[in-house]
Amino acid sequence: MKIKKFLGQHFLRNKKILLKIADFAQIEKGDTVIEIGPGEGTLTEFLLEKAGRVITVEKDAKLVEFLKQKFKKEIISNKLQIIEGDILEFPLMGIFKGNYILVGNIPYYITGAIFKKFLESDTPPQSITFVVQKEVADRIIARDGKESVLSISIKAFGTPEFGGVIKAGSFYPKPKVDSAIIAVRNIHPSSLDLTLVKKGFAHKRKLLKSNLDIEGVLLQKCGIKEKARAEELSLENWLCLAHHLNFGH
């Protein structure tokens, strides 16, 4: 299969790792799974074993034809539906209704946009399990103890869990960096206005109170140190500030 670099294609063929991703998604027999970017269908095979139904969304027309041939039997039995299209331009209402689990080995360059689209959707998934750049997974989990706009914006909607590292050599073609499995579970609507968070992170070297132009007494109310920076705040701290500053939905 010819690789299209402009689509950010990196195929994963290691069955042990593919099974690990499918297991980490915690799929049950009756579940509907939406898979983004199935590529050669290597992960799709494991998802079909676990789920009640799988819907894949693939942008590459040649891969769509390949998948239709590979999974003829599953398509006929209505176990699998293959949709050709760009997930970022896809209308979620109508297609993705009811409960579903979102899974994908996604192109690195659209990771943030995909999280935003589905977490802020009127029809969000029950959970999300993605293969992402390891550095992005580390930022979401805040493994160094420092939060970011990305980590808070995801934690506002659900609970992120780290599923392990996938070495660059496991992919074809080999990317320049390692990847990681990450899940977001217990997804729910967020009451946090992320405008406040972005404002707090606007100048990373400045103290939080300077970025937000607030008094120390408000920081105290929310259990925040006088000289705290945005990266030191927990989701609960942000929710408290949002409440007192009338930032919210």
Report the Cα 210 to chain-centroid distance in Å: 31
Distance CA 155, CA 181 (A): 16
Give pLDDT tens digits along the chain (249 positions): 554 443 345 679 899 999 999 999 999 999 999 999 999 999 999 999 999 999 999 999 999 999 999 999 999 999 999 999 999 988 776 666 678 999 998 888 889 999 999 999 988 999 999 999 999 999 999 989 999 999 999 999 999 999 999 999 898 878 889 999 999 999 999 989 999 999 999 998 899 999 999 988 999 999 999 999 999 999 999 999 999 998 754
Tell me the fold of 5-185.
Rossmann fold (3.40.50)
Type of residue numbered 64: V
Domain residue spans of the chain: 5-185, 194-244
- Supply the CATH classification number for the domain 194-244: 1.10.8.100
Contact in structure between 63 and 40 (CB atoms under 8 Å):
yes
